[in-house]
Structure 1
Amino acid sequence: MTGVERGFQHDTDVLVRLVDSQLAILRNRCRGADLALADAIAASLRELIVCTTRASAVDRARVRAGVHYFVLREGRPGRRGGRSLSADQRVVNEIALRLGRPDLVVADLAVDALAGAVPGAARPVDQGLLHTV
């Protein structure tokens, strides 16, 4: 059996396509603030994918896990519904902070709208909530 050697770029492209496919699905299902949050999560994940293309295996695995968490939204067969986008947001934010990229933290768009802040701008996040990924 011959193995197929894949490069970093191939893995990066696959992950970006997964994020983009999930975002296309969410664009058909979501409206308003949920759609804006889905767009912001996808943008953050894309940037995390690209910035870890040549990072350590541990960092790449964290990002890959975040992508899979975002993509596999529906849960197990036989269970009701999927999880909220805010759960995806928390996971992506934790990964961004673990990788030292607070600029990729997805802001809470609902809170920003009420406060009149710029949607999607990074806000400080309580790092005390982080746990080992």
Structure 2
Amino acid sequence: MAGEQRNVAPGTDVLIRKVDSHLAMLRGGLHGPELLLAERLAHCLRELVVSTAQASAADRGLVRVAVHYFVLRRESRGRLLSVRSLAAAERVVDKVARQLGRVDLLADLRHDHPSRDALPVGDALLH
């Protein structure tokens, strides 16, 4: 992957650094299935960032939304990131992966949720 990142569009490295630094922070507080989900989300996001580096502005924008949704810090009763927030990030990442035709990068490998994918990402974030 390091070779791929050298020839990518500007801004790609910034997005990957955001994902990596957020994951490093999460590793300090999450364990078990929640940590595995966070690591899977980070992997999916890195791959989406790299694979859309030369794509249309719209596709890159979708990936940017997913990255920002993942790294957004939400407070919940003193915990930095609630499991509910991680699940919400999972839905957004999966929605973006599906819209970009990258079902191989779905974070949720256990279930197929077609009803969640009926709306475009921007609309689905409002629901």
Q: TM-score w.r.t. structure 2 length?
A: 0.78
Q: Which has the larger radius of gyration?
A: 1
Gap regions ≥5 residues in structure 2: 1-6, 122-127
How many residues are matched? 110
CA distance in 2 between counterparts of 1:123 and 1:29 reads 24
**2:12–2:49 Cα contact (<8 Å) kept:** yes
Q: Hey, what does 1:14 align to over in structure 2? A: 14
Gap regions ≥5 residues in structure 1: 1-6, 108-121
1:36-115 alignment runs, 5 A limit: 36-74=36-74, 82-83=81-82, 84-107=85-108
User: Which whole-Å deviations, capped at 9, do the CAs of 1:83-131 have from their partners, x for residues lacking one?
Assistant: 5211111110000000000000012xxxxxxxxxxxxxx4562323221
Match for 1:12: what amino acid?
T
CA distance in 1 between counterparts of 2:46 and 2:9 reads 13
CA distance in 2 between counterparts of 1:123 and 1:102 reads 13
Q: TM-score w.r.t. structure 1 length?
A: 0.75
Sequence identity percentage: 47
**Which portions of structure 1, spanning 4 or more consecutive aligned residues, are displaced by more than 6 angstroms?**
none
Q: 1:56 to 1:124 in 2, by over 3 A?
A: farther
Match for 1:103: what amino acid?
D
Q: Hey, what does 1:24 align to over in structure 2? A: 24
**1:93–1:104 Cα contact (<8 Å) kept:** yes
